[in-house]
Homo-oligomer: A and B are copies of this chain.
């Protein structure tokens, strides 16, 4: 009974594990110190997801004995896990059900994949933002400003934020270019570098 695509929650956990071996506790900590604001499952939810990932053989668990600390289980990504993660990151969902954050969430993990994939994802995000911007701007024209001042104001905030994100996307584009160059340079100098994608 394998699902075709794991849930976003599962993929995010998987993504964090892809950066290196982690325990459930580590994951909970890292979540709130990094992507917690984009997407924040509770500690207990993480512990529920981990066995599911093992079951789908996307990660493998390993017991670690400790003296002065409680024993713990650490999880490491498997080849199947890498494949699942890669296909998630490479697929561009034009209208994600989980909202616009899904683009950003995927971009967060783009250190794991070739710069090419990051660029593709970014393009999808840009298209999404542009569509939204058009829609919101036309909504703004329809609203009457006299009766519902705050409706308009809130909409204006949304529009301003989209514009900011679009500007940011331009920055990222440049950054990806620099990344590609530095990776290419390293590739024909020394063979293994920490900057190369790891999955």
Give the interface segment out of A44-52, A59-67, A76-84, A153-161: A153-161
Chain A 146-169 per-residue mask, 1 if CB under 8 angstroms from chain B, else 0: 111111011011101101110110
Minimum Cβ distance to chain B for residue A15 (Å): 11
A127 within 8 A of B: no
Report the Cα distance A107→B157, complex, angstroms: 11
The reply to whether the CB of A33 lies closer than 8 angstroms to some CB of chain B is yes
Flag the segment in A1-9, A21-29, A108-116 that touches B: A108-116
Number of copies of this protein chain within its complex: 2
CA–CA, A168 to B152, complex, Å?
A: 12
- Are A104 and B179 also in contact (CB < 8 A) when A109-B150, A139-B33 are? no
Q: Which residues of B contact A139 (CB under 8 A)?
A: 33-34
Q: Is the CB of B161 within 8 A of A161?
A: yes
Complex Cα gap A104–B148 (Å):
15
Distance A47 CA – B111 CA, assembled complex (angstroms)? 44
> Inside 8 A of A34's CB, which chain B residues have their CB?
139, 151
B residues in contact with A171, CB < 8 Å: 153, 156
User: What residues make up the interface of A, taking CB atoms closer than 8 Å to B?
Assistant: 19, 33-35, 37-38, 104, 107-111, 118, 132, 139, 146-151, 153-154, 156-158, 160-161, 163-165, 167-168, 171-172, 175, 179, 194-195
